[in-house]
């Protein structure tokens, strides 16, 4: 890489740190967000991405199940939640969960991903039955389920200490935790947008306990609403510090905000520049995270593909149904085939690797 390009762009010191594998500071992160040279920021991130993951880009054959939209938290950024007795409220029965899984029995899915609203009235047995049902119907798949926010509620209804709840959920088949629920680790944004939900400190504490109990998790950042560059960088640094302590995070996912049907309707969609910059700056700041995901549902397959040259090494998966964000209310079916995912990756010049939830390469499984 040509150091003089970075010199001319005022990024020579950051380039030198990245080349020497030195940790970037808060100020570096803010400068990367504000630099006019997105191409160079991307080049730096690509350097780190290649160092950590070579030319590989991962995808996963997964199925998402959003098992209830009932939620007591009423976050202002959310278009998914429904009040308990409202007309749109749903909670899947075990028969419905089984039916959804059987619908895709012909595909060798390796991960069932489940996140949902925080239902105030579901008993603990709902969650254990849910895990049992998935495990029975898809015994080979890893179950990645429940954000830290949902875990807080599950612990409450389990009436056990968090450590015991987690061990019990693991005994019922829970394999890993998704990255949502954290939103932005900022007191200001917490108060403005999701005050009924546990704050950042609470989220980090549950993540710490979960990692200590042997559960790996992801982490995310919801961006493109009210947050500042400083708040984004502070978020990265708080995650980086916890990762130094536990080593429990597998992957970071910037989640682009979609304002349709939320209380924040009117906030414009994120731009290509911001989507790529979030990927690149997260790759550069989160030096102890093995993977950065460009989640195609949020930024579209086109941007997710470009992001593979800006620091991302994962475009996630086949998905099937996604109810949290969708263009039209009735459009819950959102799917890319394994071939489409692999083609996107190869066209970007990377080696397509099918992974499981823990980034182990998957051998071709016999069709079920």
| Residue of the chain from 152, 183, 227, 234 that contacts ligand V47 (CB under 6 A) | 183
Task: Give the relative orientation of helices 272-285 and 229-246 as an angle to the nearest 10 degrees.
Answer: 30
By beta carbon distance, the residue nearest ligand V47 is 180
Name the phi and psi angles at 234, rounded to 5: -60, -40
* CB of 280 vs ligand V47, minimal distance in Å: 19
Of 37-45, 129-137, 254-262, 266-274, which part binds ligand V47 (CB under 6 A)?
Answer: 254-262
d(CA 10, CA 37): 9
Q: Using DSSP bridges, classify how beta strands 314-317 and 319-321 pair: parallel, antiparallel or unpaired.
A: unpaired
* Binding flag, residue 222, ligand V47 (CB under 6 A): yes
Mask for 27-56, x = binds ligand V47 (CB under 6 A): ------------------------------
CA 118 to chain centre: 18
d(CA 322, CA 69): 12
CA 352 to chain centre: 20
* Binding flag, residue 165, ligand V47 (CB under 6 A): no
| Residue of the chain from 147, 186, 270, 305 that contacts ligand V47 (CB under 6 A) | 147
> Helix, strand, coil: what percent of the chain each, to 5?
45, 15, 40
* CB of 78 vs ligand V47, minimal distance in Å: 4
* Binding flag, residue 134, ligand V47 (CB under 6 A): no
Report 271-300 residues binding ligand V47 (CB under 6 A).
295
* CB of 258 vs ligand V47, minimal distance in Å: 4
User: 77 or 310, CB closer to ligand V47?
Assistant: 77
* Binding flag, residue 115, ligand V47 (CB under 6 A): yes
Contact by Cβ (8 Å): 310, 74: no
* CB of 20 vs ligand V47, minimal distance in Å: 31
* Binding flag, residue 67, ligand V47 (CB under 6 A): no
User: With contacts defined by CB under 6 A, how many residues of the chain interact with ligand V47?
Assistant: 22
At 39 the three-state DSSP class reads helix
At 203 the three-state DSSP class reads helix
Of 19-27, 95-103, 200-208, 215-223, which part binds ligand V47 (CB under 6 A)?
Answer: 215-223
| Residue of the chain from 68, 79, 128, 270 that contacts ligand V47 (CB under 6 A) | 79
Contact by Cβ (8 Å): 150, 210: no
Q: What angle do CA 284, 50, 237 make, to 5 degrees?
A: 20
| Residue of the chain from 262, 270, 282, 305 that contacts ligand V47 (CB under 6 A) | 262
Smallest CA-to-CA distance from 62 within 279, 298, 322 is with 322
Q: Using DSSP bridges, classify how beta strands 174-177 and 216-223 pair: parallel, antiparallel or unpaired.
A: parallel
User: 53 or 325, CB closer to ligand V47?
Assistant: 325
* CB of 149 vs ligand V47, minimal distance in Å: 8
* CB of 15 vs ligand V47, minimal distance in Å: 31
Contact by Cβ (8 Å): 278, 295: no
* Binding flag, residue 180, ligand V47 (CB under 6 A): yes
* Binding flag, residue 255, ligand V47 (CB under 6 A): yes
Q: Which two tokens stand for residue 222?
A: 């919801």
* CB of 22 vs ligand V47, minimal distance in Å: 29
Name the phi and psi angles at 73, rounded to 5: -90, -25
User: 31 or 190, CB closer to ligand V47?
Assistant: 190
d(CA 308, CA 64): 23
Positions in the binding site for ligand V47 (CB under 6 A):
77-80, 115, 147, 178-181, 183, 218, 220, 222, 253, 255, 257-258, 262, 295, 324-325
């Amino acid at each position: 890489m040509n150091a003089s390009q970075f010199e001319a762009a005022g990024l020579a010191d950051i380039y030198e740190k990245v080349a020497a594998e030195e940790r970037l500071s808060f100020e570096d992160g803010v400068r990367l967000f504000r630099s006019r040279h997105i191409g160079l920021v991307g080049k730096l991130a690509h350097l780190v991405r290649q160092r950590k993951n070579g030319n590989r880009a991962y995808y996963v054959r997964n199925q998402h199940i959003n098992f209830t939209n009932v939620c007591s938290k009423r976050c202002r950024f959310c278009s998914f939640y429904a009040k308990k007795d409202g007309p749109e409220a749903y909670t899947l029965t075990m028969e419905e969960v089984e039916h959804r899984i059987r619908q895709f029995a012909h595909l060798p899915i390796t991960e069932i991903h489940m996140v949902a609203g925080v239902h105030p009235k579901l008993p603990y047995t709902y969650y254990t039955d849910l895990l049992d049902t998935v495990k029975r119907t898809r015994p080979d798949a890893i179950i990645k389920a429940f954000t830290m926010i949902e875990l807080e509620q599950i612990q409450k209804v389990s009436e056990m200490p968090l450590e015991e709840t987690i061990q019990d959920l693991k005994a019922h088949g829970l394999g890993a935790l998704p990255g949502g629920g954290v939103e932005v680790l900022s007191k200001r944004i917490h108060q403005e947008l999701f005050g009924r939900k546990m704050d950042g400190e609470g989220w980090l504490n549950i993540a710490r306990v979960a990692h200590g109990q042997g559960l790996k998790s992801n982490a995310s950042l919801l961006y493109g609403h009210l947050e500042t560059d400083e708040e984004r960088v502070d978020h990265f640094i708080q995650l980086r510090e916890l990762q130094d302590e536990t080593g429990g995070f597998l992957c970071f996912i910037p989640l682009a905000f979609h304002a349709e049907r939320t209380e924040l309707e009117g906030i414009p969609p994120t731009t290509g520049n911001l989507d790529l910059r979030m990927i690149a700056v997260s790759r550069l700041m989160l030096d102890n995270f093995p993977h950065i995901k460009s989640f195609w549902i949020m930024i579209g397959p086109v941007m997710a593909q470009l992001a593979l040259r800006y620091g991302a090494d994962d475009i996630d998966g086949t998905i099937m149904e996604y109810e949290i964000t969708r263009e039209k209310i009735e459009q819950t079916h959102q799917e890319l085939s394994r071939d489409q995912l692999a083609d996107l990756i190869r066209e970007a010049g990377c080696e397509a690797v099918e992974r499981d939830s823990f980034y182990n390469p998957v051998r071709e499984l016999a069709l079920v």
